[in-house]
Chain A
């Protein structure tokens, strides 16, 4: 009551936007100090020589050493093929998801997201089990008599492709799906009633309208793929070395930060060029997801490249439509449709068959680590020999593994707490305050999602080396918070956006203070979103190898770091036991987070 009395006569203090926006400042300070500053520093470092003078020596070294250029070409080639294959495999799945009932869509989406929800290392390890010389696939092929000798699926280009396409498919599918869902289903029906065959209406209408999604997915997959190193390192051979692997060895073996900086600039430049071309061709707005398919498809003003691209695209679509039309005519002549009886849709059956096969490819492989972990033999093999818990005993009896596990939990827990506090506070400001430069601020906070993680890790290593934070829990938590905080900000913002602020106003008008309103009204409503953010942050930290690769080592290893060492040196069934534990734990955790998130947004809306 006294609050009201004192504030009644004059405008209350502290109503300036800058003061009201205070909850965002801790996060801003943090992101600038632990992300922007070190990354800028490592990039700027690249244009200095060891004596501290401005020089392009690092770049001329790249340009004159064939190995680096070759690596760059390989990186582009792998990223390009990954993109192409992920598009081809992802499109039918996205189409099925977009055109099935809500229930089917929800459960299929869960399966498609499986790879997202399993530890990256576990997934890659699973492929090693499946595709190795004595792996399940080779055993099957040989027992069926299809081949006599084991086929080399891994330690070559094929292995890298399988691993990377597997890793990128969920991203490709979800990005295409978001555009496909905005396509009005009546349009295809209208095309059919207007006289178009199935093929024509698909190519000229549906496919044409889904193109922005295809392009956006292609861009995201390509740029993400450029920064990969785990898959090529574990599933590729020497000829599949990507630029990130070179950066790692430059840092770890040569400690040459300026040169690593130069290579990072190269990686970023490659991504930036792709972004630029994409923008010229299609416009950036397609990425934001806010625009609907119809707006995206509209022939607005475009650059010359854009017009040529559009023209070529239209021609291609017309040809595809014409071809499928002729094929359909031929088919009808061979198997005329009878108007007096229902006819099964063959194309639909094929589509479902292909779609489910791809979904199986996505969600089944990781499960192979489970049976393998219970083998009583000394080697990783499938089917496993007998049944025993000996590898779990080995895991729990090893000081190194147990310490790494405990350390991972501590780091992940602390990261989740710090990220949730910083991120939720910032999310409130971002959703509720009119802030100058909000887009720029949000972009800065979310930038760690887009920037290759490796560059962040190298930059942090350089920073920590001077501050003495290498090998410390504090260093890990700070680094992981940079990576995890965007997830918290995104989930909490999403819940807050659907939250009706009038509820808070009602609480104030009923006599509650702002703090009590937050505690009694707002938080209970958005709790699901905050907890989901917490869990995502936990998992991000728990699953991180990249930052841990530089900031930890030996006795200070985290679980992924320990796994990585073993995967490179001596693959053994202990890894399967560890993987099973991680798989069960992480997947359970993420499914819980996802369920909470869905329930939260369902309740608020």
Chain B
């Protein structure tokens, strides 16, 4: 990835709307053939960032470089990018063929060549038979693929996708995720993808750029973000987390902490110096219900409040004596085995799965 040519470089880009800062000092690089996802809740600035790359919203400051050329304030038609919009934005009065031909006509490509190119991309998305139809005569998934084909036909440096699967139902979305991923791998296109769906982001991306409140929280591979979140926000946004308030007793690679009610905890991370308040993050699937004699590096004793059976996994909600409720996720055991509501249970987890993060007002 590092060796690849840089296709997109965003340098210190900021956007203000009056007193509101929609995006603060965003810096980001995208290599050739990379699939990078802007992930975040609504209002986090991800769409603003995408629109500035597209040239549809001018930044207040900063620079945007596309394929080695400065493009900060270049008009969208001079940028060499393609966008797949959330609702596809297929021109309703043009047929599929005319829709795909549109960008080539705008580039004054000879019509014989247009014909061949349209045919080529329709075959790539496996829809050569719909060329004469109008967009509204296509299913959602087909419209999605045509929108993609319309972008690919003129081979832009980057393809931007703005929540392209948002309008599809669950099943079709899963299928289209695979298809887009496969096209990306096969054609080596460079993709900047926007979504608020963390599972979609993790399933598809080479790297994820997680955004919050107009700021980039963390950029990294899905694994990095999941296992080594740099902030409580990242830990909470990706997957589920148990978050415990704690104070550092002894700093170091392995830290000793005072948890809720003085419970002793051990964890790792870049938490901070002794005496500082921190947060300890443990994923539910890392919590184990301990047997009578079983020991663990961290142990919490509490009352089982609720059991939720969800097929393959079962969730246990355990209330600790001093307030917090921990959620544990385990593979379901057959039969009626296991603790019952009201029982006192012991939860255990290892130090390597307890991540200590500095406290930050979110």
Provide the bound-state CA to CA distance between A390 and B154, in Å: 76
State whether the Cβ of B328 lies closer than 8 Å to any Cβ in chain A. no
The residues in A between 183 and 236 inclusive whose CB is less than 8 angstroms from any CB of B are: 184, 186-187, 189-198, 200, 205, 208-209
State whether the Cβ of A299 lies closer than 8 Å to any Cβ in chain B. yes
Contact status A194-B82, CB under 8 Å: yes
Looking at the complex, which of B64-72, B117-125, B188-196, B225-233 is the stretch in contact with chain A? B64-72
Collect the chain A residues with CB atoms within 8 Å of residue B360's CB. Answer: none
Size of interface on B: residues with Cβ below 8 Å to A: 37
Collect the chain B residues with CB atoms within 8 Å of residue A187's CB. Answer: 89, 91-92
Contact status B136-A298, CB under 8 Å: yes
Provide the bound-state CA to CA distance between A562 and B127, in Å: 71
Q: Taking A192-B77, A193-B76 as contacts, is the C-beta distance between A295 and B56 under 8 angstroms?
A: no
Provide the bound-state CA to CA distance between A184 and B93, in Å: 12
A281-321 interface code vs B (CB 8 A; 1 in, 0 out):
00000000000011101110000000000000000000000
Contact status A208-B93, CB under 8 Å: yes
B48-69 interface code vs A (CB 8 A; 1 in, 0 out):
0000001110100001000001
State whether the Cβ of A338 lies closer than 8 Å to any Cβ in chain B. yes
Collect the chain B residues with CB atoms within 8 Å of residue A208's CB. Answer: 93
Collect the chain B residues with CB atoms within 8 Å of residue A193's CB. Answer: 54-56, 76-77, 79, 81-83, 160
How distant is A223 from chain B, measured CB to nearest CB, in Å?
26
B71-96 interface code vs A (CB 8 A; 1 in, 0 out):
11111111101110111010111000
Collect the chain A residues with CB atoms within 8 Å of residue B55's CB. Answer: 192-193
Contact status B89-A338, CB under 8 Å: no
State whether the Cβ of B260 lies closer than 8 Å to any Cβ in chain A. no
Collect the chain A residues with CB atoms within 8 Å of residue B102's CB. Answer: 191, 194, 196
Collect the chain A residues with CB atoms within 8 Å of residue B180's CB. Answer: none
Contact status B85-A190, CB under 8 Å: yes
Collect the chain B residues with CB atoms within 8 Å of residue A184's CB. Answer: 87, 89
How distant is A238 from chain B, measured CB to nearest CB, in Å?
47
Contact status B92-A189, CB under 8 Å: no
Collect the chain A residues with CB atoms within 8 Å of residue B83's CB. Answer: 189-190, 193
> Which of B89, B135, B136 counts the most A-chain CB atoms under 10 A from its CB?
B89
Provide the bound-state CA to CA distance between A120 and B78, in Å: 51
Which residue from A186, A293, A339 sits with its C-beta under 8 Å from B74? A339
Q: Taking A189-B85, A194-B150, A340-B70 as contacts, is the C-beta distance between A294 and B92 under 8 angstroms?
A: yes
Collect the chain A residues with CB atoms within 8 Å of residue B362's CB. Answer: none
The residues in B between 222 and 276 inclusive whose CB is less than 8 angstroms from any CB of A are: none
Collect the chain B residues with CB atoms within 8 Å of residue A337's CB. Answer: 73-75, 78
Nearest chain B residue, comparing its CB with the CB of A185: B89
Nearest chain A residue, comparing its CB with the CB of B56: A189
Provide the bound-state CA to CA distance between A189 and B84, in Å: 11
Nearest chain B residue, comparing its CB with the CB of A294: B92
Interface residue range, chain A = 20 to 34
Nearest chain B residue, comparing its CB with the CB of A292: B92
Contact status A192-B93, CB under 8 Å: no
Contact status A186-B136, CB under 8 Å: no
Nearest chain B residue, comparing its CB with the CB of A338: B73
Which residue from A194, A293, A341 sits with its C-beta under 8 Å from B73? A341
Contact status A342-B73, CB under 8 Å: yes
Q: Taking A186-B87, A195-B103, A293-B92 as contacts, is the C-beta distance between A340 and B72 under 8 angstroms?
A: yes
Provide the bound-state CA to CA distance between A195 and B107, in Å: 7
> Which of A184, A195, A293 counts the most B-chain CB atoms under 10 A from its CB?
A195
How distant is A295 from chain B, measured CB to nearest CB, in Å?
7
Which residue from B69, B81, B86 sits with its C-beta under 8 Å from A339? B69
Nearest chain B residue, comparing its CB with the CB of A205: B91
State whether the Cβ of A103 lies closer than 8 Å to any Cβ in chain B. no
Provide the bound-state CA to CA distance between A184 and B73, in Å: 24
Which residue from A190, A196, A339 sits with its C-beta under 8 Å from B72? A339
How distant is B165 from chain A, measured CB to nearest CB, in Å?
16
Which residue from A186, A190, A192, A194 sits with its C-beta under 8 Å from B75? A192
Which residue from A192, A198, A294 sits with its C-beta under 8 Å from B136? A294
How distant is B123 from chain A, measured CB to nearest CB, in Å?
20
How distant is B7 from chain A, measured CB to nearest CB, in Å?
16
State whether the Cβ of B20 lies closer than 8 Å to any Cβ in chain A. no
> Which of A187, A189, A190 counts the most B-chain CB atoms under 10 A from its CB?
A190
Which residue from B81, B89, B154 sits with its C-beta under 8 Å from A186? B89
Collect the chain A residues with CB atoms within 8 Å of residue B107's CB. Answer: 195
Contact status B73-A340, CB under 8 Å: yes
Nearest chain A residue, comparing its CB with the CB of B86: A186
Collect the chain A residues with CB atoms within 8 Å of residue B135's CB. Answer: 294
State whether the Cβ of B106 lies closer than 8 Å to any Cβ in chain A. yes
Provide the bound-state CA to CA distance between A339 and B52, in Å: 13
Collect the chain B residues with CB atoms within 8 Å of residue A186's CB. Answer: 85-87, 89
Contact status B56-A298, CB under 8 Å: no
Nearest chain A residue, comparing its CB with the CB of B73: A342
State whether the Cβ of A343 lies closer than 8 Å to any Cβ in chain B. yes
How distant is A29 from chain B, measured CB to nearest CB, in Å?
44
Collect the chain A residues with CB atoms within 8 Å of residue B93's CB. Answer: 208-209, 294, 297-299
Contact status B103-A194, CB under 8 Å: yes
State whether the Cβ of B130 lies closer than 8 Å to any Cβ in chain A. no
> Which residues of chain B have a CB within 8 Å of any CB of chain A?
54-56, 58, 63, 69-79, 81-83, 85-87, 89, 91-93, 102-103, 106-107, 134-136, 150-151, 154, 160
Pairs of residues from A and B, 8 with the lowest C-beta to C-beta distance, nearest first: A294-B92, A190-B89, A297-B93, A195-B106, A194-B103, A186-B89, A192-B76, A339-B74
Q: List 21 A-B contacts (CB under 8 A).
A: A184-B87, A186-B87, A189-B56, A189-B85, A189-B89, A191-B102, A193-B55, A193-B82, A193-B83, A194-B102, A195-B77, A197-B77, A200-B106, A293-B92, A294-B92, A297-B92, A298-B136, A299-B93, A338-B73, A339-B72, A340-B73
Other 7 A-B pairs with CB < 8 A, given A337-B73, A339-B73: A187-B91, A189-B54, A193-B77, A195-B106, A196-B106, A205-B91, A342-B58
